[in-house]
Amino acid sequence: MNTLGQIGEHEAIKRLTAMLGNHSDLLVGAGDDCAVATLPHTGSDQVFTTDPVIEGVHFNPGEIPERIGNKAAGRVLSDIAAMGAQPQWMLVNVAAPPEMDFQRLEKIYAGMGALCARFGATIIGGDLAQGACLELHLFGTGLVPEGSALLRSGAKPGDAVFVSGPLGCSITGKHLDFVPRVEEGVFLRETGLVNAMMDVSDGLATDLRHMLKQSGVGAVLAAESIPKTGTLEQALYDGEDFELLFTASAENAETLQRQWERRFGRALPMIGKATAEAERLELKHGDGASVILESKAFEHFSRVDARN
Amino acid sequence: MNTLGQIGEHEAIKRLTAMLGNHSDLLVGAGDDCAVATLPHTGSDQVFTTDPVIEGVHFNPGEIPERIGNKAAGRVLSDIAAMGAQPQWMLVNVAAPPEMDFQRLEKIYAGMGALCARFGATIIGGDLAQGACLELHLFGTGLVPEGSALLRSGAKPGDAVFVSGPLGCSITGKHLDFVPRVEEGVFLRETGLVNAMMDVSDGLATDLRHMLKQSGVGAVLAAESIPKTGTLEQALYDGEDFELLFTASAENAETLQRQWERRFGRALPMIGKATAEAERLELKHGDGASVILESKAFEHFSRVDARN
């Protein structure tokens, strides 16, 4: 017998994903931030994602309820943003113990509702059932013009690599209070200049490795260019930043930075370059020192580092 | 402080639902088997539903994994069937403890996949996270021709009331092994003869009361006409039958029964009649005895009977 703990989250997801079905209307299945399906005759594709937020895993038992709601809705909105899509519908499943304070649940809903309203998403249903601890399972859909969803697999050798904001130390609060980069995601898709995009949930080093793998490219990061809240180590590995990570061709890089600055009034940090050496992720320092980065993200179930 | 246990599932859902947003594309929000939204330019509406399946609540810890998967997918498919819709996409969130046998999870997926494949649904994504016990949260969408989704609110005084199959004793196995009435739901919608429809998950007495309330009608049930696996009491209150409960005008009743019999090779049981006395649910026996039925469904959180 193999337990989930022995196999680890990523390997388990890989094996389960292999069991899923297929359909001619399905453009992108499991493995990106959202699944993408055609909506024939509408000029749009529809994106789908789900995210769990579980007490003791994604937040501490005593946490402020509005923050829990913000995180629950924000994770889904961030996945939708990472496709360059406009959020649409959301449904919420809640499992909770009978002794839970109902007002606390209302405040969680208020937190979810406020963030959804801000980004044009509408909560339209869900369910409530008894469970051992508080779990929220959110499902979201979004819309994107036909064929324009930004995937993890689009990066090309020579592309400039960008990140939408500072990374690291999310545990001090950002993992609960973050603003999903919905406006940025839609803007980036509309520029037509972005080749690949995803959100940073497992940490820059791990998530960029996913993008490199799915794109069949490598990357060299410039250590000093990575915007960070704490140390470089924290920026690379902490995770739950919910910033957007994306690439554009070298020739479009400056145009993209200029347009971004005009739109958002802040600089767009270019943190490295994609290379032709598939899946090789190198970190270069200004002094010439260089290191190959391994993955060491948080994995559900596994307590050891995942080095894949 | 009010706990969930003090408030009870239905009251809690009612209060949380009141907090949800609205949108001009949303045709039916929370309160029916699915939410319904327009898909402009497609000639279709899209339906959305979610269902949790939780260890110790919806199945016992030692249950055969394929049956757990069947129930998890079946509950969502049954909700979609209850709108007369064709199932489309499904996403699955799993929370599980690290010591869970991975093969067991694969078998749950096999159970979900088999049922989805049978009814034209495709699992396209989801997530996997660590939790205290096994929880599955499924999210499903379906398609229905524009404006033709069958709602709980459509019953009219004088309508004949039908149920798609025998009720009661689902605890002996049917609550896990049931076949969602997807073919029946689509067929019934296509006849154009059905006024209101829902699935029986909380028991005939409770679910019919929901339909009566949303339609502003009452009903008289003929005790001897209710198809049952065990006793009348079990047929009325056990729940988790996942049969379809629906109405048609008295003048169309025989036509509907004839078409049903031709299509499915079995009789369609007419179990009663809708009346103009709003929310009054009466059970009449052949000997003339009559009783007003109260709701006493299983409620998450509340251990006492819910009499609403």
Interchain proximity B102–A29, CB inside 8 Å: no
What pLDDT shows up at residue A297?
A: 60
User: Are B8 and B119 contained in the same domain?
Assistant: yes
Q: Is A241 one of the annotated binding-site residues?
A: no
Locate the DSSP E strands across chain B: 26-28, 35-39, 44-54, 86-96, 122-130, 135-145, 160-163, 194-199, 218-222, 244-248, 270-275, 281-284, 290-292
Measure CB to CB from residue B37 to each of A16, A20, A89 and give the nearest one. A89
- Given pLDDT bands bounded at 50, 70 and 90, which one contains residue B207? very high
User: In degrees rounded to 5, what are phi and psi of residue A26?
Assistant: -90, 115
Q: Which chain B residue has its CA at the smallest distance from A33's CA? A: B125
Tokens of B229: 């696996």
Cα four-point dihedral sign A185, B50, B180, B212: negative
Q: How far is B155 from chain A (nearest CA, A)?
A: 23
User: Are B171 and B46 contained in the same domain?
Assistant: no
User: Are A172 and A285 contained in the same domain?
Assistant: yes
- Check CB contact of B124 with chain A, cutoff 8 Å: yes
Interchain proximity A137–B133, CB inside 8 Å: no
- Check CB contact of A279 with chain B, cutoff 8 Å: no
Please report whether residue B162 resides in a domain.
yes
Domain that includes residue B285, residue range: 152-292
Please report whether residue A72 resides in a domain.
yes
User: Are A180 and A198 contained in the same domain?
Assistant: yes
Q: How far is B108 from chain A (nearest CA, A)?
A: 10
Interchain proximity B29–A3, CB inside 8 Å: no
What pLDDT shows up at residue A301?
A: 72
Residues A196 and A151 sit within 8 Å (Cβ to Cβ): yes
What pLDDT shows up at residue B296?
A: 66
The CB-side HSE value for B101 (13 A sphere, CA atoms) comes to 9
What pLDDT shows up at residue A304?
A: 38
Residue A308 has pLDDT above 70, yes or no: no
- Check CB contact of B50 with chain A, cutoff 8 Å: yes
Which residue reads 């391994």 in tokens? A294
Residues A72-85: tens digit of each pLDDT? 999 999 999 999 99
- Given pLDDT bands bounded at 50, 70 and 90, which one contains residue A296? low
- Check CB contact of A3 with chain B, cutoff 8 Å: yes
- CA–CA gap between residue A222 and residue A283 (Å, rounded): 6
Ranking A19-33, A139-153, A247-261 by mean pLDDT, the lowest is A19-33
- Check CB contact of A39 with chain B, cutoff 8 Å: yes
Site from A102, A134, A141, A199 to mutate, B interface, most B CB atoms within 10 angstroms: A102
SS3 (DSSP) at A15 = helix
Q: How far is B273 from chain A (nearest CA, A)?
A: 30
Compute CA distances B143 → A39, A99, A143, B48, B148, whole Å.
11, 38, 17, 9, 10
Residues B160 and B246 sit within 8 Å (Cβ to Cβ): no
- Check CB contact of B145 with chain A, cutoff 8 Å: no
User: Are A47 and A168 contained in the same domain?
Assistant: no
Task: For chain B, give the percent of residues with pLDDT over 90.
Answer: 90
What distance lies between CA B217 and its chain's CA centroid? 20
What pLDDT shows up at residue B220?
A: 98
User: Are A118 and A90 contained in the same domain?
Assistant: yes
User: Are A222 and A283 contained in the same domain?
Assistant: yes
Residue A306 has pLDDT above 70, yes or no: no
Q: How far is A41 from chain B (nearest CA, A)?
A: 6
Q: How far is A206 from chain B (nearest CA, A)?
A: 17
User: Are B168 and B141 contained in the same domain?
Assistant: no
- CA–CA gap between residue A52 and residue A50 (Å, rounded): 7
Interchain proximity B125–A12, CB inside 8 Å: no
What pLDDT shows up at residue B235?
A: 97
- Given pLDDT bands bounded at 50, 70 and 90, which one contains residue B298? low
User: In degrees rounded to 5, what are phi and psi of residue B167?
Assistant: -115, 155
Residue A307 has pLDDT above 60, yes or no: no
Q: What is the mean pLDDT of residues B226-248?
A: 97
Residue A276 has pLDDT above 80, yes or no: yes
Residue A217 has pLDDT above 60, yes or no: yes
Interchain proximity B15–A102, CB inside 8 Å: yes
Interchain proximity A102–B41, CB inside 8 Å: no
Interchain proximity A93–B20, CB inside 8 Å: no
Residue A117 has pLDDT above 90, yes or no: yes
What value does the mean pLDDT of chain B take? 94
What pLDDT shows up at residue B307?
A: 30
What pLDDT shows up at residue B305?
A: 35
- Given pLDDT bands bounded at 50, 70 and 90, which one contains residue A9? confident
- Check CB contact of B101 with chain A, cutoff 8 Å: yes
Please report whether residue B306 resides in a domain.
no
Please report whether residue B307 resides in a domain.
no
Q: Which chain A residue has its CA at the smallest distance from B105's CA? A: A16
Point out the domain boundary residue: B97, B116, B145.
B145
Q: Which chain A residue has its CA at the smallest distance from B118's CA? A: A21
CB atoms within 10 A of CB A219: 26
CB atoms within 10 A of CB A19: 12
What domain count does chain A have? 2
Please report whether residue A255 resides in a domain.
yes
User: Are B35 and B138 contained in the same domain?
Assistant: yes
Please report whether residue A97 resides in a domain.
yes
User: Are A114 and A182 contained in the same domain?
Assistant: no
Q: What is the mean pLDDT of residues A145-162?
A: 98
Ranking A239-248, B6-15, B34-43, B148-157 by mean pLDDT, the lowest is B6-15
Please report whether residue B304 resides in a domain.
no
Q: Which chain A residues are Cβ-neighbours of B19 within 8 angstroms?
A: 106, 109-110, 113
Residue B204 has pLDDT above 90, yes or no: yes
Measure CB to CB from residue B4 to each of A54, A102, A125 and give the nearest one. A102
User: Are A262 and A202 contained in the same domain?
Assistant: yes
Predicted complex ipTM: 0.94
Element (H, E) at A262: helix A250-264
User: Are B136 and B161 contained in the same domain?
Assistant: no
Compute CA distances B104 → B55, B71, B109, B111, B115, whole Å.
13, 15, 9, 11, 17
What pLDDT shows up at residue A21?
A: 80
Point out the domain boundary residue: A124, A145, A166.
A145
What pLDDT shows up at residue A295?
A: 64
Provide the CATH number for the domain around residue B203: 3.90.650.10
Point out the domain boundary residue: A110, A145, A180.
A145
- CA–CA gap between residue A48 and residue A41 (Å, rounded): 19
The CB-side HSE value for B108 (13 A sphere, CA atoms) comes to 28
- Stronger pLDDT, B17 or B183, i.e. the higher one: B183
- Check CB contact of B114 with chain A, cutoff 8 Å: no
Residue B20 has pLDDT above 90, yes or no: no
- Check CB contact of A113 with chain B, cutoff 8 Å: yes
User: In degrees rounded to 5, what are phi and psi of residue A304?
Assistant: -95, 160
Q: What's the length of chain B?
A: 308
Residue B304 has pLDDT above 90, yes or no: no
Chain A, residues 193-212, CB within 8 A of chain B, namely none
What pLDDT shows up at residue B303?
A: 44
Interchain proximity A42–B42, CB inside 8 Å: yes
Q: What is the mean pLDDT of residues A264-285?
A: 97
- Check CB contact of B37 with chain A, cutoff 8 Å: yes
Q: Name the nearest CA neighbour of A147 among A82, A193, A88, A83.
A: A83
Residues B141 and B50 sit within 8 Å (Cβ to Cβ): no
Q: Which chain A residue has its CA at the smallest distance from B303's CA? A: A98
Q: Name the nearest CA neighbour of A77 among A151, A139, A169, A31.
A: A139
User: In degrees rounded to 5, what are phi and psi of residue B48?
Assistant: -135, 135
Residues B136 and B96 sit within 8 Å (Cβ to Cβ): no
Q: What is the mean pLDDT of residues A273-301?
A: 88
Measure CB to CB from residue A95 to each of B7, B52, B100 and give the nearest one. B52
What pLDDT shows up at residue A302?
A: 60
Please report whether residue B301 resides in a domain.
no
Q: How far is A134 from chain B (nearest CA, A)?
A: 10
- CA–CA gap between residue B291 and residue B276 (Å, rounded): 17
- CA–CA gap between residue B59 and residue A23 (Å, rounded): 31
- Check CB contact of A306 with chain B, cutoff 8 Å: no
- CA–CA gap between residue A175 and residue B252 (Å, rounded): 58
Residues B171-201: tens digit of each pLDDT? 999 999 999 999 999 999 999 999 999 999 9
Taking CB atoms and an 8 Å cut-off, how many pairs form between chains A and B?
Answer: 238
Provide the CATH number for the domain around residue A50: 3.30.1330.10
